[in-house]
Amino acid sequence: MIEHNLPVLVPLILLFGALSTSLLGSWKRALAYPLALASVAAALVIAVLGLRQTISAGAIRYYLGGWAAPIGIEYVLDPLSAFMLTVVLAVAVLVFVHARTVVAAELQGRTVPFYAVALLLLTGFSGIVMAGDLFNLYVFLEISSLAGYALIAVGEKPSPVAAFRYLLVGTIGASFYLLGVGFIYIMTGSLNIADVAKILPALVREPPVLVGLIFIVVGLAIKMALFPLHGWLPDAYTYAPSSSSALIAPIGTKIGAYVLLRILFFTFEPAAVRDTLPVADIILGLSLGGILFGSIMAIAQKELKRMLAYSSVAQIGYIGLGIGLANPLGFVGAVLHVLNHAFMKGGLFLVAGNLRLQIGHSTISGFDDSLRKAMPWTMAAFALFSLSMIGIPPTAGFFSKWYLVLAGFENSNWIAIVVILASSLLNAVYFFRILEKVYLKSSKKGEGTDSNLPRKEVNTSMLAPTIVLAVGLLVLGVLNAVIVTEIIVLMIPSGL
Amino acid sequence: MAEYFLSYYTYWFIFALTVLGLYGMLVKKNLVKKLIGMTIFQTSVIIFFVASASKWNATIPVIDPAIGTDPSGYINPIPHTLMLTAIVVGVATIGLALALLMSIYHRYHTLDEPHLLQRMK
């Protein structure tokens, strides 16, 4: 009985969690945090149950109000959406555990609304991955985006400006998506993804459908910050509070990539996307540009969070590369990289949060080897995240790049392979720059040593999630064959 | 050619509105004007959906004994209901944007982009 209702339970738990957090939190502030954490944890448990269920018994479909699709609204939990849901909520639980100290320190007196809005953000994300029709997907996309703007705007002094720019650009993206859906609705008369997928093959050469596809792809490229539409991202991630960026950076742009996968390979046919318009080739080209641009800009940054933001532009390029190559290995690489990058970038932003709380800044020139002595565990985790970002086996980061390289070989796309290898070197440059300061240089060179803040390791509630993510990268790396053969293979759409 | 333009005149009007909104968002220097541009842009998408549902010689989608159950006698209600939701989304976006603008004004005492960029340095 419960299996049948699993899809709808996750957004409901998160939505009611958000409502009760703000209501009970305004009565007794101490209640807000445990309630929020409990809601996310409960949602994660259900997502894991759903993932197990879909792997063994196939997709679960839930019809809201009992009206069968395509007339009614359906929630679909298939292997791809169950996997995304589990990744999103697993990272979210760890960030929530970490957030208790950071949010109390950075957002005094605003903790209750922070947790309520963070839960709304997760409601939006979980709705996006499970929405069975194109319009519900838009509504959830906007729920998560609105929550995201609010979470970014409570940060440092320039954060409302960054959030306002993100809002303008994000609204253009969402409206383009909606406009594209309108064109497809006019031609097919249906919004249900499975139904549209049945009708579209006969219509795929009609101009309105192609115009709709272009609008949708451009809109989603803005939402996922695909180069050169990434302009909103660096400021937004840099000025946001530590917990907001740790929550939005690992998940937010990946959700855009997920929707792109859903549209290109599950709504349209993969063959149609390759043959009618060079959509896949364009995404491929932009991704390659993004990988190089993001990596080079990351080297030029002086501030850790800003460097990580540009690195995100590069990393979304890897996912776009897997989508653009449009073959099964590329699909595996893209999905695996969503998981790996969620862990790596989540962990790196947690490290940035730890540093900001303990030493008051995260400017790279202020790092020195006293950090190694004062915060040994945080810095060890940082080293592990860096190795994974560079792609050194057996960390998880190596394996997604490996699948992408294999996919490049399969399409004989030598440029893609060269770019992946070159970007690994560039990653090495910008991470070793910090590792060198922390592990190799003597303490006299540091510029930030005059800080009055006590330099010591963060408390357990912040350290534990950081370490769990770091160890998780090793576990994911070792288990990558299991993840690919047991879970990701099930997702590969027919016809790819 | 003229006939082609005339037969799609609603869509040309919507297209003009979309471009006007985008122009306001991208070119205007004042943040409030940018927001107005965004509102025009969102509205153009809403009108696009509603216009796509219009039909000659059809009535509101409530069964009328005189017309019977022939669907060609009724307007498709789905785009209208979809746009009710989209309008709500738009209102939420504008509300949040205005709150952000207030916060920006409190911090920098200007909403003019060149001044704002100067003061952010």
In a domain, B34, yes or no: yes
Asked if A171's CB is within 8 angstroms of B93's CB, the reply is: yes
In this complex, do B92 and A150 lie within 8 Å of one another by their Cβ atoms?
no
Of A187, A190, A180, the closest CA to residue B78 belongs to A190
Query: Per-10-residue mean pLDDT for chain A, 496 residues long?
Result: 77 91 85 88 90 85 81 87 92 90 81 90 92 91 93 87 92 93 90 88 85 92 87 87 88 90 87 80 90 90 89 91 88 90 90 84 78 82 89 85 89 87 89 84 53 66 86 87 82 77
Does B77 fall in a domain? yes
The answer to whether position B6 is within a domain reads: yes
> What does R_g of chain A's alpha carbons equal in angstroms?
22
Contacting residues of A for B79, CB less than 8 Å apart:
182, 185
In a domain, B68, yes or no: no
Looking at residue A208, what is its pLDDT? 87
Distance CA A290, CA A253 (A): 14
Picking from B34, B42, B85, the nearest residue to A139 by CB comes out as B85
The whole domain housing B35 covers 2-55+73-120
Return the ∠ at Cα A317 (arms to B45 and A289), rounded to 5°: 95
CA distance A6 to A75: 10
Domain membership of residue B45 (yes or no) is yes
Q: Identify the burial level of B54 via C-beta atoms within 10 angstroms of its C-beta, where 0-12 means exposed, 13-18 middle and 19 or more buried.
A: exposed
Using DSSP's 3-state secondary structure scheme, residue A61 falls into: strand
Residue of B nearest to A156 (CA): B107
CA quadruple A357, A359, A365, A367: dihedral positive or negative? negative
Torsion of CA A221, A96, A430, A471, to 10 degrees: -110
**From CA A444, how far away is CA A27, in angstroms rounded?**
51
CATH number (domain holding residue B94): 1.10.287.3510
CB contact under 8 A, B25 and A186: no
Query: What is residue A327's predicted lDDT score, i.e. its pLDDT?
Result: 86
Does residue B62 lie in a domain region? no
Positions of E strands within A18-106: 60-63, 74-77
Place of tokens 């099964």: A328
Which amino acid is it at A138? Y
| Phi, psi values for residue A228, rounded to 5° | -95, 25
Q: How many CB pairs under 8 A join A and B?
A: 67
Q: What is the pLDDT of residue A126?
A: 93
Choose among A148, A131, A149, A132: nearest CA to A140.
Answer: A131
Q: How many domains does chain B have?
A: 1
Residue B92 lies in a domain: yes
Task: Mark yes or no for CB contact B100/A163 under 8 Å.
Answer: yes
Sign of CA dihedral A421, A424, A430, A433: negative
Q: Closest to B34 (Cβ–Cβ): which among A139, A149, A168?
A: A168
Question: What pLDDT is stored for residue A483 in this prediction?
Answer: 83
Q: Does B93 contact A142 at a Cβ distance shorter than 8 Å?
A: yes
| CA–CA distances in Å: residue A175 to residues A180, B39, B100 | 8, 11, 20
CB contact under 8 A, A142 and B25: no
CA atoms of A383 and A457, how far apart (whole Å): 16
Residues of B in contact with A142 (CB under 8 A): 89, 92-93
Closest residue to A161, CB basis, from B18, B48, B120? B120
A186 touches chain B (CB under 8 A): yes
Predicted local confidence at residue B31, as pLDDT: 92
Distance of CA A77 to the CA centre of its chain: 19
- B49: distance to nearest CA of chain A, Å? 6
Distance linking the first and last C-alpha atoms of chain B: 53
Q: Is A175 within 8 Å of B82 when comparing Cβ atoms?
A: no
Residue A367 and residue A267 in contact, taking contact as beta carbons nearer than 8 Å: no
Residues of A in contact with B34 (CB under 8 A): 168
Q: Which amino acid is at A115?
A: Y
Could you tell me if A484 and A315 are in contact, meaning their C-beta atoms sit under 8 angstroms apart? no
CA–CA distance, B60 with B77 (Å, rounded to integer): 8
Cβ B75 vs Cβ B57: under 8 Å: no
Its ipTM equals 0.93
The separation between CA B108 and the C-alpha centre of its own chain, rounded to angstroms, equals 30
Q: Which of residues 146 through 175 in chain A touch B, CB cutoff 8 A?
A: 146, 149-150, 153, 157-158, 160-161, 163-164, 167-168, 171-172, 175
A268: left (phi over 0), alpha (psi -120 to 50) or beta: beta
pLDDT digits (tens, 9 = 90+) for B62-87: 888 888 788 888 888 888 889 999 99
**CB contact at 8 A, A152 and A232:** no
Written in H, E and C, the secondary structure of B75-105 is CCCHHHHHHHHHHHHHHHHHHHHHHHHHHHH
Q: Is A28 helix (H, G, I), strand (E, B) or coil?
A: coil
Q: Is B10 contained in some domain?
A: yes
Amino acid in position A14: L
CB within 8 Å of A200: residues ≥ 6 apart: A184, A188, A209, A267, A268, A269, A272
B94-to-A95, A252, B89 alpha-carbon distances in Å? 29, 21, 9
- Spell out which chain B residues touch chain A, with contact meaning CB-CB distance below 8 angstroms: 18, 22, 25, 31, 34-35, 38, 41-42, 45, 48-49, 52, 78-79, 82, 85-86, 89, 92-93, 96-97, 100-101, 103-104, 107-108, 116, 120
Is A54:A82 a contact under the CB 8 Å cutoff? Answer: yes
